[in-house]
């Protein structure tokens, strides 16, 4: 099973669980940027529903990664899905509501889920719509101040947890976005086109431009 096939299979399972709740599913991050590295990268996913996820749906979704691994033994992808599932209203407003979280160290049913400013920017700039209606026009683009504050927050975490390289990567990711971005600028959302203002190196710009290939590969399997 290829990466694109695994994404399509997982999306179909999520849609089945959320039948009647009109889910919108996005893939973003390294997969959408054609920068997925086996053994290092995860598969960032966001699932937004029309109504609050029911308790029964949440109970099924929270363990879905493990179910898929049992169904497809040895599959290298299903354990890598990370992100959140909740209603679009709760995602936009930040209100407390039943949500499902998949993380590196586990999964849980929570009362909220939010992205940091960098994840939101990645979703808006290059996220791949796997199924459902595209609702990104309802999402505000993160401000420079929000990105700067997230960089500072991750830098504090890096100092406190110096044995974890993940925090340092988040700081680097933040600097990559913050340095060239001005608060008055807003890239074309969901267009797959990147301006050099948002890519500090030629290599990164070229890698970002490959995101369209991944987008088409996933969408062709719909």
Instruction: Please write the tens of the pLDDT for every residue from 153-197.
Output: 877 877 776 655 555 565 565 555 555 544 334 443 433 333 333
Q: Each residue of 83-126: pLDDT tens digit?
A: 999 999 999 999 999 999 999 889 999 999 999 898 999 999 99
Whether residue 201 is found in the same domain as residue 181:
no
Strand partners, 87: 49
Q: State yes or no: pLDDT of 44 exceeds 70.
A: yes
Q: How far apart are CA 220 and CA 118, in angstroms?
A: 27
Within a domain: 192: no
Within a domain: 190: no
Whether residue 149 is found in the same domain as residue 56:
no
Q: Of 120, 149, 148, 147, nearest to 136 (Cα)?
A: 120
Give the three-state DSSP class for 47: strand
Positive/negative CA dihedral, 86, 87, 91, 93 = negative
How many folded domains does the chain comprise?
2
Q: State yes or no: pLDDT of 75 exceeds 70.
A: yes
Element at 44 (helix H, strand E): strand 43-49
Whether residue 89 is found in the same domain as residue 153:
no
Positive/negative CA dihedral, 164, 206, 123, 80 = negative
Q: How far apart are CA 66 and CA 7, in angstroms?
A: 15
Of 204 and 134, the structure prediction assigns the larger pLDDT to 134
Whether residue 20 is found in the same domain as residue 80:
yes
Whether residue 26 is found in the same domain as residue 134:
yes
What is the extent of the structural domain holding 128?
A: 3-141+197-219
């Amino acid at each position: 099973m290829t990466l694109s096939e695994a994404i399509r299979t997982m999306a179909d399972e999520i849609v089945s669980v959320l039948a009647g709740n009109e889910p919108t599913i996005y893939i973003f991050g390294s997969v959408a940027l054609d920068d997925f590295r086996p053994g290092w990268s995860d598969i960032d996913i966001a699932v937004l529903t029309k109504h609050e996820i029911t308790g029964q749906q949440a109970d099924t979704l929270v363990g879905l990664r493990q179910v898929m691994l049992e169904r497809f033994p040895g599959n290298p992808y299903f354990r890598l899905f990370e992100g959140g599932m909740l209603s679009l209203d709760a995602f936009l407003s930040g209100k407390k509501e039943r949500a499902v979280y998949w993380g590196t160290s586990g999964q849980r049913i929570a009362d909220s889920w939010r992205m940091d400013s960098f994840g939101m920017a990645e979703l808006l700039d290059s996220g791949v719509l796997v199924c459902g209606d595209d609702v990104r026009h309802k999402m505000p683009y993160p401000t420079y101040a929000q990105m700067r504050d997230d960089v500072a927050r991750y830098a504090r975490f890096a100092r406190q947890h110096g044995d974890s390289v993940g925090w340092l990567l988040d700081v680097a990711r933040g600097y990559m976005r913050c340095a060239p971005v001005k608060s008055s600028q807003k890239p074309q959302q969901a267009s797959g086109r990147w301006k050099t203002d948002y890519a500090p190196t030629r290599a990164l710009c070229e890698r970002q431009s490959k995101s369209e290939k991944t987008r088409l590969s996933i969408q062709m399997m719909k």
